[in-house]
Amino acid sequence: MALEAATKLLRLGVPLTDVLEHIPLSMSQSEPWIQPTLHAFGAFYSQDYASSVNEFSLLVKRYPDQPMFTLYLAASYSKEARYLEAVFAFKKARTMDSYNLTYMDTYVEALMHLKRDSEATKLADDLLRIDSRRPEGWVAQGHCLSMTDGAHDTALSAADMAIQLASYYAPAYSCRGDILYNCSQYDEAILFYQASYKLHPDIEALDGTFIPII
């Protein structure tokens, strides 16, 4: 079983023990990074973010030049609301691969939690310049614009564009819900939160649900 397929199964909720049964022993022996990688993703996708921080931290130490591990360490920190550590790891991952947009909307939100709004806005603009056909940049833009006076409609348009581009992308719906909520449109906001929840029931971890290509 390819590692990409294994991580997809973990994301879909297949237990780690079941996934490991399909990994040939010969592969685990010849490529010793596979087992710890699956353990890290297993923790992440089961929402055990404290464990995923530990697992990905070990992988980053062993394989410091692998941006995927640093990226998911950053995402794990963000899920744990450890935003300073998340931003540091996101920045490092981005220096290794500036064109990977996975979890970059989460990076923007971490910056906003730290009140680093100008950095968040610049990053959101960069994401759209890199690939405006992906939803992350539009979600990031929506969050940034939602904090700008008089930009309510523009923020909603950004969230709508993300939904149009990727109707399966849960953060786009939660982003629109956040914008509506901040404008006291609570009933409509709830509808978008519900839509987000249906797509991805981990309501506290709705950022960046693209399947990684490993």
Q: How many Cα atoms within 13 Å fall on the side-chain side of residue 35? A: 11
The DSSP line for 89-102 is: HHHHHHHH-TT--T
61 with 77, same domain: the answer is: yes
Residues 85, 67, single domain; the answer is yes
Q: Are residues 131 and 90 in the same domain?
A: no
**Domain boundary residue, one of 96, 122, 137:** 96
Cα separations in angstroms, 19 against 12, 140, 178, 212: 11, 33, 36, 17
- Residue 147 and residue 71 in one domain: no
The string of DSSP letters for 25-75 reads HHHHHH-TTHHHHHHHHHHHHTT-HHHHHHHHHHHHHH-TT-HHHHHHHHH
Same domain for 192 and 119: yes
- Longest distance between any two alpha carbons in the chain, whole Å: 60
Look at residue 47 in the predicted model and tell me its pLDDT: 92
109 and 82 inside one domain: no
Regarding whether 111 and 170 lie in a shared domain, the answer is yes
User: 92 and 141 share a domain?
Assistant: no
Give me the CATH number covering residue 158: 1.25.40.10
**Do 85 and 109 lie in a common domain?**
no
The enclosing domain of 64 has a CATH number of: 1.25.40
Q: Please, are residues 151 and 145 in contact by the beta-carbon 8 Å criterion?
A: yes
Q: Are residues 179 and 117 both part of a single domain? A: yes
One-letter identity of residue 23: I
If asked whether residues 191 and 89 sit together in one domain, one would say no
Query: Domain boundary at 74, 96, 118, which?
Result: 96
DSSP label at residue 115: T
Domain count, the chain: 2
Residues 208, 109: one domain? yes
Q: What residues contact 109, with CB distance under 8 A and at least 6 apart?
A: 78, 120, 140, 143, 207
Domain hosting residue 139, numbered range = 101-214
- Give, for all 214 residues of the chain, the pLDDT tens digit: 577 888 888 888 889 988 988 887 666 666 888 899 999 999 999 999 999 999 999 999 999 999 999 999 999 999 999 999 999 999 999 999 999 999 999 999 999 999 999 999 999 999 999 999 999 999 999 999 998 888 999 999 999 999 999 999 999 999 999 999 999 999 999 999 999 988 876 544 333 333 333 3
User: Which of 49, 67, 96 is where one domain is finished?
Assistant: 96
How far apart (Å, rounded) are the C-alpha atoms in residues 45 and 24? 22
- Predicted pLDDT of residue 69: 97
* Other CB atoms within 10 A of residue 200 CB: 18
